Structures are given as structure tokens and as C-alpha cells.
A and B are shown apart, each in its own frame.
Chain A
Amino acid sequence: GAVVSQHPSWVICKSGTSVKIECRSLDFQATTMFWYRQFPKQSLMLMATSNEGSKATYEQGVEKDKFLINHASLTLSTLTVTSAHPEDSSFYICSAYVNTEAFFGQGTRLTVV
């Protein structure tokens, strides 16, 4: 199957700092990638749709100035959590589709202290 690589797999940062998460499609091109957030024992919640060469589309309630998305190439999308706070601590996962199947990155566990 297709491979989506996400980095880093975990990160601990201080409150107020910014964290960048990378999502790469390794063996296919992805014009669209999706960013999800998952809190413990909850479902994946779509945060935004990342579109190559254009602005991301954010879901209602997701602050676009806080969660910066850049999709500069067909194989890379980045999510930057700016001025992170403890409530931003969560599991962030990216995905891309090949036909109708979603392939996920390994996820990034963010802990803000």
C-alpha cells in the first residue's frame, strides 16, 4: 500500500512555543492531504484539508492562525502549531487518499508543558 510518513512521532514543547509537523507521501503524489486531531478515547476530528499550491480549508472551530498549514509540493504538507498551550496536547495525524483508501501517517503525539 501507499506510504505516508509523518515526523516527528512525538514532541514535548514548552507553552508558547511553536511546533512543526511534517507529512510526506513517499511513493505517490498527493494534491490533497488531511490533518486530524485525536484526543484520548475520542474519534479523529478533521482539522483542515491541505491543498497543494493553495490555501488550506479549515473546519469550523479550528483557528487558521494557530494551526498553520503549508502544502508547497505534491509530497509534503506541514502543520505548525503556533504558540502552543497545554490544551493543544493531542495526537495529530495526517492522511492522504489513493483512490478511496485513506493512508495515514504514523501520527505525532504533542505534549505541551
Chain B
Amino acid sequence: RKEVEQDPGPFNVPEGATVAFNCTYSNSASQSFFWYRQDCRKEPKLLMSVYSSGNEDGRFTAQLNRASQYISLLIRDSRLSDSATYLCVVNTGFKTIFGAGTRLFVKA
């Protein structure tokens, strides 16, 4: 089993749609969690951290369920510019593990 697993997609959605990504992690001692965005042939960039209480940043909502070892990212009112690969990232305190990413295509 991979340490961090994501649905690879791709997710093809129309503009304005709501889309949700899921991620599971295997190490119950993991300490911090993030969603990164990676555009094609570019470096990853931090989208948002994920907190136990859940957090929202504009159209993006992230949630963490420690009991189920599950992280989610919800994108509302999706835009063409949201097209990218979204990486689930888990930090165990000793190392940072990246998921393989979920590809999103938003179409007009």
C-alpha cells in the first residue's frame, strides 16, 4: 500500500462545477497535511494547509479526518484556471510524502 494515495483522475468538469478530491495516508503518526497544486512541467506550489477543524480559503475547502486517515479538497465554482494536478502532501515529522496527484481539467 502506498503511503499517500490519491485518485489519479483525470477529473473533467465544466466551469462552475464543484469537484472534490480525496486522499488517504497510511501513517497514523503523520503530523501535518497540505494540498499543493502543480501545473504541467512546473514546480508544485502550496495551495493550502489542512487543519483538523477544516479550513476554507475562498472557493477551496480542505478537511482532515484523523480517525479515517483521510484528507479532502473541495473546489467550488471551478474555473478554467483551476486546471492542474493537485498533490496531497503528508508530513510525518521525519519526512514529507507526496501523493501522485489528481489531475483536473476544467472546460468551458
Tell me the nearest residue of chain A to B3, going by C-beta.
A43
Q: How large is the interface on B (under 10, 10 to 19, 20 to 34, 35 or more residues)?
A: 20 to 34
Main secondary structure of the interface of A (DSSP, over half): strand
Q: Are B98 and A93 in contact (CB under 8 A)?
A: no
Q: Which of A74-111 contact B (CB under 8 A)?
A: 91, 93, 100-102, 104-107, 109
What's the count of A-B pairs with C-beta under 8 Å? 44
Q: Are B41 and A109 in contact (CB under 8 A)?
A: yes
With beta carbons under 8 angstroms apart, the residue of A1, A46, A100, A107 that contacts B43 is A107
Q: Are B96 and A101 in contact (CB under 8 A)?
A: no
Number of interface residues of A (CB under 8 A): 20
Asked if B100 CB lies within 8 Å of chain A CBs, one says yes
Q: Are A104 and B45 in contact (CB under 8 A)?
A: yes
Q: Are A43 and B98 in contact (CB under 8 A)?
A: yes
A107 CB, nearest partner CB in chain B, Å: 5
Q: Which of A33-63 contact B (CB under 8 A)?
A: 34, 36, 41-46
Tell me the nearest residue of chain A to B2, going by C-beta.
A43
Give B contacts to A, CB under 8 Å.
Answer: 4, 8, 32, 34, 36, 41-46, 49, 87, 89, 91, 95-96, 98-101
List 19 additional contacts besides A46-B95, A91-B41, A107-B43; criterion CB under 8 Å: A34-B96, A43-B4, A43-B101, A44-B98, A45-B98, A46-B96, A100-B91, A101-B34, A101-B46, A102-B34, A102-B36, A102-B46, A104-B43, A104-B44, A104-B45, A105-B43, A106-B43, A107-B41, A107-B42
